[in-house]
Each structure stands twice: as structure tokens, then as C-alpha cells.
Structure 1
Amino acid sequence: MRELVLLRHAQASFGAADYDVLSDLGHDQSLALGEALAAQGLRPDHLWIGAQRRHRETLEGVARGLGLDPAQARIHPGLNEFDFTGLLNARYRDRARPVGLHDDRATHFRELRDTVLAWQRDEIEDPPEPWQAFAARVRDARRAMLAAEGTTLAVSSGGAIGRMVAEVLEAPEAQMIHLQLQIRNCAVARFIGGHSRDYLAGFNETPHITAQTAHLLTYS
């Protein structure tokens, strides 16, 4: 069987100068997830991550909980997030931008939703990455990871995961951002590789969160 256990990274540093760094809570989340996956009996045969720091730091915590060596992970650019800061800046390049665009959560995520939908409709001039290029690299990552026999554990970001889920479900492109905004930090999505297509087997699972660890539930 070919199975992909795909994790969203732990809580990063929203509103800070460098988002791409796990918060203290993010480190706790990643270790707790690794321990929860170990309790479920997960023993992955392959490890993959994107090239972003938050992916590596998340895998380090998860791997510690699972008793694995994170240095064995392969890197695939298709697991990287789209440049949401650059995309928002491109949309507001020649017009007034909303107050709090990059540091107020409600404003940021409302504008991000509308910006991604405009990006998909090719309505943003000179984006950091064309929509179709992003979709293609995410597809390449899924195919590469599900080409290997056994169980693959990978760490990615909300946009890439949302796109992967939407494509496997053959949902409209617009569903990507709606899925993305639901995905919790350190949430688990599961895919099964079939002979002619891939299948979604789980979405937004949080085995590291219980009544005693509810403080670990975050979205950004």
C-alpha cells in the first residue's frame, strides 16, 4: 500500500518579523503530535518536507516524538507554501492597503481569502508565482510521495495541503482557500495512492489534542 500522512506545520510566528520560525507553543505541538502518532503505531518508511524553516522545525519535534532521525527527510519544493505576503503586496501594489493587512489576524485572513480567489482567476498582475505553477508543483510533490511503497510522512503548509486535498477530491479550484483556512496547526491529512488515482482518507485530524491539551489548538 502507498500511504501519505501529510502534516501541516506547527504554529509559526504570525505578525513577527520572521513568520518562518516556530513559536514556543509550536515546538510543543510538534512534539505532542509525534507522541500521538507513535501511540497510534505509525512507523513511516519515508520522510519528506518542504524547504521552509517551519517545516524542518516541525519535523524535528514530530520525529523526536516518533523516535526517528529527521535528517533522513527529503525536500520537495512542491510542499512549500505560496508567498502569501508577496501575493497580498502584489494585489495592493497600486492601491491603498487595509490597515493590519499583515499583522491583524481577522484582516489578514479575510484579505488572503479574497486575494487567493483573485490569483486563481489571474486577476493579480505580476504575482510572486503564477497560480498554475503553484498547482503544478503541489501535484508533483503528491505524485512523488505516493510513488513509493509504504508509508510516507511529510510536513507542508496550509495552502499546499488545501490544494492537494481539493485536487484529489476533484473540487473547484476555489475550494483550496476554504480548506486552507480550516486547517489546524499540526493537523494530519491522509492520502492513499491507487492504481489510477489517489484518494483522501482523512483531513484535519488532531490526535495530539485532548481535553487536557486543548491549549495546543491553533490555526496560524
Structure 2
Amino acid sequence: MSELLVIRHGQASFGQDNYDVLSDLGHKQSEAVGVLLRETGWVPDRLVTGTLTRQRDTLSSMGFAQAPEEHAGFNEYDFGDLLQARFKGDVPDLVKGDRKTHFRALRETVFEWQDAAFDGASETYAEFAARVEAARAFACDTKAKRVLVISSGGVIGQMTAMALGADKRHMMELNLQVKNTAMSRFMFSGPKFGLHEFNATPHFMTPSGADLLSYS
């Protein structure tokens, strides 16, 4: 069996004009998980990211200099676009500015998106699920024994729900649990694909590491 280790990117710039930039904390989180992998002897044979800046920069800050392969299927869904579609271009200020309200709206909006309850989004949920599956197949179509992927919370939630045979609602419940730079490990061989570990952050399990924990 081969391993597919999927790591969520480090903390991005929530509330800023450009979310797709790692914060200082995000770089520190990425460095910590990279150190952990090297200390435990887990050396990847293949590197893959999405095309987002925060994903590529996470890999760089982890200390891997090799240029990764890229697959856009590992990119996050565009929540800003979903909000604009759901609220017809008039997103409430509280949704944009209050963290608790924002994440409540995130959950509700994704559930409505899954049910095709609004139109106008640049991507349907079915299209999102299909591209995530295409990215998973791309990463597993290899002779490599250890594949490292840097992706995002929604993609990891979708991959995990698929591996468990769970219904679509579980994608979002899992998505909201995924910590920045958390590791989710899958095992694969040919058509076989299964979850081995979800949302692990051993690099935060020290007094100093605990200060690095974040979810967004």
C-alpha cells in the first residue's frame, strides 16, 4: 500500500483584501509540520499542490525545495463567490466581518449549494466533487510510495467523506474541523483507497506548539 498525505495549508489572511496569502502564523505552522515530517523520517516521493498561492507557499515554508506538480482540483471552493450567488450580490456586513457569523453562514451556504438551492455560482457542488475526485485519482496514479499533497479544508472534507462512503452533508462537517496544517492520511493501491488518519496535528502537541493552532 502507498500513502497519500494531504495537508491543509497554513493560516491564510482571513479578513484581508487578499485571503490567498499566508499569515506569519501560517508560515510558522508550515515550518513546524515540515520539521515534524523530517524528524520522523517521512520523506515524500512526490509533491503535489493546488494552484493557490497559500498552498504553494505552505509547501515552500515546510522546507521542500523541489518544485511540486500542480492540479487545480486540489483548490478550495470559492466561498466568496458562493456568498455572492446566495445573497444575490448583497452579502450582509456581519457575514463579512464577524467571524462567528461568517462560519455559520459558510456552513449554511455550502448546504444550500449542495442542494442546488441557488444559482449563479461559478461552480456547482457536483462539479466541485468531480474535480476533487479527478485530483485524487491524479495523485494516486503513481508508482510513488509516499505522496504529499497540500490542499484546503473543503477538498480534504470531500475526500474524507468519499473515502468513508458518507453522505454529502459530512463533507461540510469535516471541512469545519480541519485545522491549519493538519495531516489527513489515506492508503491506496490500485482501485483501493481508504482513510487511515484524519486532521492530525502532532506538531501542535507541545506547550509552544499549542500556540500555533488555528482553523482559518
TM surpasses 0.5: yes
2-structure distance, mates of 1:146, 1:103: 39
Determine the structure 2 residue equivalent to 1:216: 212
- Correspondence 1:76 to 2:71: yes
2-structure distance, mates of 1:114, 1:102: 14
1-structure distance, mates of 2:189, 2:182: 23
Two-structure CA RMSD over aligned residues (Å): 1.2
Deviation at 1:177, TM superposition (A): 0.7
Question: What is the SS of the residue equivalent to 2:208?
Answer: helix
Deviation at 1:25, TM superposition (A): 0.7
- Correspondence 1:32 to 2:28: no
Determine the structure 1 residue equivalent to 2:84: 89
Kept in 2: contact 1:49–1:74 (CA 8 A): yes
**Could you tell me which amino acid in structure 2 is paired with residue 92 of structure 1?**
F
Determine the structure 1 residue equivalent to 2:120: 126
Q: 1:161-209 CA deviation, whole Å, 9 max, x = no partner?
A: 1000001111000111110000000000001113433100100011211
**Could you tell me which amino acid in structure 1 is paired with residue 111 of structure 2?**
L
Q: 1:15-73 CA deviation, whole Å, 9 max, x = no partner?
A: 000000000011111001100111121110000000000001100011x1xxx3242x0
Question: What is the SS of the residue equivalent to 1:37?
Answer: helix
Identical columns (%): 45
Question: What is the SS of the residue equivalent to 2:203?
Answer: coil
Runs of at least 4 residues off by over 4 Å: none
Determine the structure 1 residue equivalent to 2:142: 148
Q: 2:191 aligns with which of 196, 208, 215?
A: 196
For this pair of structures, how many residues does the alignment match? 214
2-structure distance, mates of 1:101, 1:108: 5
Bigger shift: 37-46 or 13-22? Answer: 37-46
Gaps of 5+ in 1: none
